[in-house]
Structure 1
Amino acid sequence: MRIGIPTELKDNERRVGMIPDGVAQLVKHGHEVVIQSGAGEGSGYLDVDYVSRGATIGTQKDVWDCDLVVKVKEPIESEYPFLREDLVLFCYLHLAAEPELTRALVDAGTTAIAFETVTSARGDLPLLTPMSEIAGRLSVQTGAQLLTAPAGGPGMLLGGIAGVAPVNVTVVGGGVAGAQAVDVAVGLGAQVTVLDINTATLRAFNQRYEGKVRTIASTPDNIAEELRRSHLVIGSVLVPGAKAPKVVTEEHLRSMPEGAVVVDIAIDQGGCTAASQPTSHSNPIFSFGPVTMYCVTNMPGAAPKTATIALANETLPFVVQLANQGAEQALQNNIHLKAGLNVAQHEVVHEAVKDALGL
């Protein structure tokens, strides 16, 4: 099989869909890997690194002409003309928040497998987990920076200074990303509150932090009360494949302290606040009432070296399976890979995506 790895075109997206070690494994299995020239440079991999492991360097067209295209982020509009019926696309898609891309995939008849809905025997989302971990950790770093005066914030340090009240950090959603955000915020000395609908999740936070983290059931009233005193809010609500529920209202945001920051990790799936709108690394923030909103749709792209390696470690076994068996057979043989199938034969086949798009 011919596997293509394109250069990512999303704003400031420096990750790449495969590292040289992955190329070597695919070549060992008898496959041809075509890397777009310069695709790996943002993650620290030069063309020569790929060539030394058996890859061919090609143009954008060469890559998209392959049987299987593996990338990181969803195709942007300029890439839609490359979509076709005999193509298998394997990447993050987030179609619940991308109706135009969904229509392009359906019209082209492309077989589209989304990283974010591939499952595992443990019941988790193994291809989403590493990026959620990175986004969760970056969210607190980003929020802490935006609270400083040079960044236009109120001039607050996240915490840890004797005699000064710590910053109040509220994490809405205690999943993988939320847990990482809590870990960093606690480490920096903030006063941290977690809201989640699952009491078992809250109980786990109580046990891990021995009561040092406040845990509260996520209800509209509780969210309203906590946000009124929160200087930094991390939105990390996830419903696999579906649009993120808008659990934070405009009224909640307007009640927050002047200069407070909201980092919406859930923006890839539409965002979990009523004011969330996609932003980019080039233009990451906007104001809503008293709040600075950060809604960058490819947060892990800020740490491309770490993110590329972490993602490649998880995706490669599935890529090898797709290449060795062909997409149709691989999807039949692996129910967890099949859970990632979003579009096939000119229709959306993932139920949560269909519901989110009203299909």
Structure 2
Amino acid sequence: MLIGVPKEIKNHEYRVGLTPAAVKEFIAHGHDVIVQTNAGTSIGFSDDQYISAGAQMIASPEEIFARADMIVKVKEPQPNECKMLRKGQTLYTYLHLAPDPVQTELLIASGATCIAYETVTDARGGLPLLAPMSEVAGRMSIQAGAHHLEKAQGGSGTLLGGVPGVAPAEVLVIGGGVVGTQAAKMARGMGADVTILDRSIPRLRELDDIFGGTVKTVYSTVDAIEQYSKQADLVIGAVLIPGAAAPKLLTREHLKNMKDGAVVVDVAIDQGGCFETSKATTHQEPTYVVDGVVHYCVANMPGGVARTSTMALNNATLPFGLALANKGPKQAMLENPHLLNGLNVHEGKVTYQAVSDALGYEYVAPEVALQA
């Protein structure tokens, strides 16, 4: 199979779909790889490293899309990239389709087979290709929040960990999954006073054990969100419904009761955001203010630490990518139900229930679509 790796073109996105080490793995399995010139240069992966790994460097993204059997990316394809996809071609990347009707329409029109990292599952019910970026984003959310609490950044001028004689900041984490756990670890490590809200009692028990009682765990209700957001200096939105649009848990009314200069970081923004006032921002212009509350809603947070993120992502995506190349996409997915869960669009059909529900398309079961 010919694998194509175009350079990412989203604002301040420096990650790359395959590292030179991952390219070498595909080559070792008998495949060919073409990589766009300078695709990884900005994060220390030179063209010479790719060539040494066995890749052919291509200057034109159009040529990569025209030639490759499978396109491996990081972020969702932008409109001009979607228009270069074709029937019989496989796209393997993050998609986040539920809040993105334009991309969904273009992928349907392309006829391509589109596999979303974020909906591939594992035997434990986890999301193994989303987890590494969730870990990065969770940790980054606290770095970003602490920075934007500084007065010069529009925040209240509060130091997250306080100092002797001055109380630390109050951090509210909504959602106790991978993002929320990593955010809480970072916030607690910096000395903040941390509260985690979640709707799963078993998960709250696990979090209590993980943190040894050093963070507050609270069952998430409308009242709890209202109460704890009032006193929070920093709120982290860490809620995920796999493949679906995120629920709006922090409302405009909540903001009106929050502290002036408080900061909210919406890590769920890729799925539409879990705050009512969220709108996607970029690393170039990461924040805006609503009712005195600073909003950080960067849609590709892990891109800010692109080298770490790329290596962590490749560790997770490589085994599935090799299966797709070695067996062919259809056989690989029909043999592996967890990889099959990653199929979101196939030859003009929407094959992921949450996407069809969110955008009003007819749902076709992925195994049915593949065997049609």
TM over 0.5: yes
Helix, strand or coil at the partner of 2:4: strand
Deviation per CA, 1:139-163: give whole Å up to 9, x if none.
0000000011222222110014111
1:17 aligned onto 2:17:
yes
* Cα distance in 2 for residues equivalent to 1:253 and 1:197: 22
What secondary structure sits across from 2:274 in the alignment?
coil
Cα separation, 1, equivalents of 2:164 and 2:10: 43
Do the aligned partners of 1:160 and 1:188 also contact (CA within 8 Å) in 2?
no
Alignment correspondent of 1:214: 216
C-alpha distance in structure 2 between counterparts of 1:41 and 1:139, whole Å: 26
Find the aligned partners of 1:151 and 1:345 in 2 and give their Cα distance.
Answer: 47
Cα drift, residue 50 of structure 1 = 0.3
Q: Distance in 2 between matches of 1:126 and 1:43?
A: 24
* Superposed displacement of residue 119, structure 1: 0.5
Q: How does 1:100-119 map to 2 (within 5 A)?
A: 100-119=102-121
Equivalent residue letter for 2:165: G
Quote the residue 1:6 is aligned against: 6
User: What is the deviation of 1:184?
Assistant: 0.4
Q: Distance in 1 between matches of 2:216 and 2:358?
A: 32
Give the Å deviation of 1:207: 1.6
Give runs of aligned pairs for residues 22-101 of structure 1, distance below 5 A: 22-58=22-58, 59-65=60-66, 66-101=68-103
Cα offset for 1:284? 0.7
1:102-251 aligned within 5 A: 102-251=104-253
> Residues 249 and 275 of structure 2 are in contact (CA less than 8 Å); yes or no, is this contact kept in structure 1?
yes
Q: How far 1:338 moved relative to its partner?
A: 0.4
- Verify the 8 A CA contact 2:145 2:265 in the aligned structure 1: yes
Partner of 1:342: 344
For each residue in 1:298-322, what CA deviation from the matched residue of structure 2 results, as whole angstroms up to 9, or x when unmatched?
Answer: 0000001100000001111111111
Deviation at 1:62, TM superposition (A): 2.1
Distance in 2 separating the partners of 1:246 and 1:304: 29
SS at match of 2:53: coil
State the Cα deviation string for residues 20-62 of structure 1 (Å, max 9, x = none). Answer: 1111111111111000000011221011100001000012122
8 Å CA contact 1:235, 1:262 repeated in 2: yes
Runs of 4+ with >6 A deviation: none
* Cα-Cα RMSD: 0.9
- Alpha-carbon distance between aligned partners in 2 of 1:76 and 1:254, rounded to the nearest angstrom: 36
The separation in 1 between residues aligned to 2:120 and 2:139, in whole angstroms, is 23
Q: Alpha-carbon deviations, 1:189-241, whole Å to 9, x = none?
A: 10100001111111112122222211111111110000010000000000000
Q: Tell me if structure 1 keeps the 8 A contact 2:21–2:53.
A: yes
**In structure 1, how many angstroms separate the alpha carbons of the residues matched to 2:43 and 2:321?**
20
Cα distance in 2, alignment partners of residues 109 and 78 from structure 1: 15
Deviation at 1:348, TM superposition (A): 0.6
Deviations 1:223-260 (A, max 9, x none): 00000100000000000000000011110112110000
Asked if the contact 2:303–2:309 (Cα under 8 Å) also holds between the matched residues in 1, the reply is yes
Task: Tell me the alpha carbon deviations over residues 311-358 of structure 1, each in whole angstroms, 9 at most, x when there is no partner.
Answer: 001111111111111111111111111000000121111011111213
How far, CA to CA, are the matches of 2:73 and 2:42 in structure 1? Answer: 14
Contact 1:133 1:177 in 2 (8 A): yes
**Distance in 1 between residues matched to 2:228 and 2:110, nearest whole Å:** 47
Q: Scaled by the length of structure 2, what TM-score is found?
A: 0.95
- In 2, Cα distance between the equivalents of 1:305 and 1:29? 25
**1:34–1:62: 8 Å Cα contact kept in structure 2?**
no
2:289 aligned residue (262, 287, 290): 287
SS at match of 1:52: helix
Q: Tell me the residue number matched to 2:364.
A: none
State whether residues 12 and 301 of structure 1, in contact with CA within 8 Å, keep that contact through their aligned partners in structure 2: yes
Q: TM-score, normalised by structure 1?
A: 0.99
2:277 & 2:153 partners in 1: Cα distance? 21
* Paired letter, 2:61: Q
Distance in 2 (CA, whole Å) between partners of 1:175 and 1:215 is: 13
Q: Kindly tell me the number of residue pairs found equivalent between the two proteins.
A: 359
Q: Is 1:3–1:33's contact at 8 Å kept on the other side of the alignment?
A: yes
- Partners of 2:257 and 2:360 lie apart in 1 by 33
